[in-house]
Amino acid sequence: MPHQKFQSCIDTCYACATECDHCSVSCLQEQDVKSMARCIKLDMDCAQICHVAASYMARGSEFAQAVCRLCADICQTCGEECAKHEMEHCQRCAEACRRCAEECRRMAQMA
């Protein structure tokens, strides 16, 4: 079963997507929403690619490795943006993105 080989990465992707979804909604409630625009956009991109990557791994797609490389790049960018903001939701998201980027890179190398 292909998904068992990548279960750790799949779980990390779903956890990251959850944090990104939470972060984007929380950012929309901040006082200066305009200053959070890039963070919100990256959160949405990151959540989406994490779901896609998990799906590709779960079904053993031949493109899982390439999708995970892209996911790692987007997670890294999102994490860097979130880390710039002091809010707790951004800091939690930044950490989830860092973990996911590492896990996706590891998966892409071993696939």
pLDDT at residue 79 greater than cutoff 80? yes
pTM above 0.85, yes or no: yes
Instruction: Dump pLDDT digits (tens) for 7-43.
Output: 999 999 999 999 999 999 999 999 999 999 999 999 9
pLDDT at residue 101 greater than cutoff 60? yes
Q: What percent of the chain has pLDDT over 70?
A: 96
Quote the tokens at residue 3: 């998904």
d(CA 12, CA 50): 9
Whether 97 contacts 21, CB under 8 Å: no
d(CA 9, CA 109): 12
Name the band, by pLDDT with cuts 50, 70 and 90, for residue 111: low
pLDDT at residue 1 greater than cutoff 70? no
Domain 2-110: assigned CATH number: 1.20.1270.360
d(CA 47, CA 41): 10
